[in-house]
Amino acid sequence: MAKYLLIDGFNMAFRAFYAVKELRRSDGFPTNALYGWVRSMWKLLDDQKADHVTVFFDLGGAQEKLVLLPEYKANRGETPEEFEQQIPIIKQLTRAMGFGLVELDGVESDDLLAAYATRLVAKEPDALVQIVSADKDFAQSVTERIHLLLPPPTANPRLGWRELDPAGVEEKWGLPPEKMVDYLSLIGDTSDNIPGVPGCGPKTAVKWLTEYGDIDGVLANAAEIKPPRFRELLPTLKDRMDLNRKIIGFNLTHHDGEELDTGSLDVEALCKILEEMEMKSHHAEALKRYSQGELF
């Protein structure tokens, strides 16, 4: 059985950036995200023992979704400059470490990742795909052979990494993967500036979808919905719910037919980058890990 790790690049890079504070090269160039990135990727490799690893990055823009909702993600602040400075190096490290890298201008990496995950399991009947991300949107992609690998929560790191199959998704959110798009459409997503049903929180959304099946069922039964304060509101939100479904649901057609880039290890390039970034402990670990000490 081939095992694939498909990594949400910016999600994990931001975690690395905020996990390590004030780490710099001697000339002042920030290296905290680089340090955390390499450490996290090696940890994933050691724990998961995947056959192939591919990282997905955004190049900017989400044209299809912005056409539908111009204010999509408009509430997000500026990306820290020190994080931006490290992204090109993170991509260089990613390739040198032997990982594939996928990015497409104007298309969100989430859509690309979900598309490749779906095609991999369709093409390879024995393949297992693990999506590495803290983004709950990926719960919609979970199947018996596509799992969501959640990093340790910042607030409770002792929980460690958690692998969610369909039963795990239902245990965590109260609903199976096939209802997650409707669930997220109802509650909205403040981080992406997607408005849901005003006043509808996770518990209410789970209750409605459990009782009525999907958003269409919820709207069809608006006259008897509980709490009663939603009975007049829900019928006015059909267009919003249709829009939310389109934005939150993944487009699985991107890069259709293209083989997944799974990368190739370049120890010499990796060690050169680590030396240039003055990451001495990581450089020593690379030499030991790849048994290349005699070459340097």
pTM here is 0.92
Within 20-147, residue ranges assigned H as helices are 32-48, 63-68, 81-96, 109-123
pLDDT digit string (tens) for 124-170? 989 999 999 999 999 999 999 999 999 988 778 788 899 999 999 99
Residue 192 pLDDT > 60: yes
Is 21:148 a contact under the CB 8 Å cutoff? Answer: no
Is 90:35 a contact under the CB 8 Å cutoff? Answer: no
Spatial neighbors of 270 by CB under 8 A, at least 6 apart, are: 93, 96, 97, 286, 290
Is 129:113 a contact under the CB 8 Å cutoff? Answer: no
Q: What is the pLDDT of residue 61?
A: 66
Q: Reply yes or no: is the peptide bond before residue 227 cis, omega within 30 of 0.
A: yes
Residue 295 pLDDT > 50: no
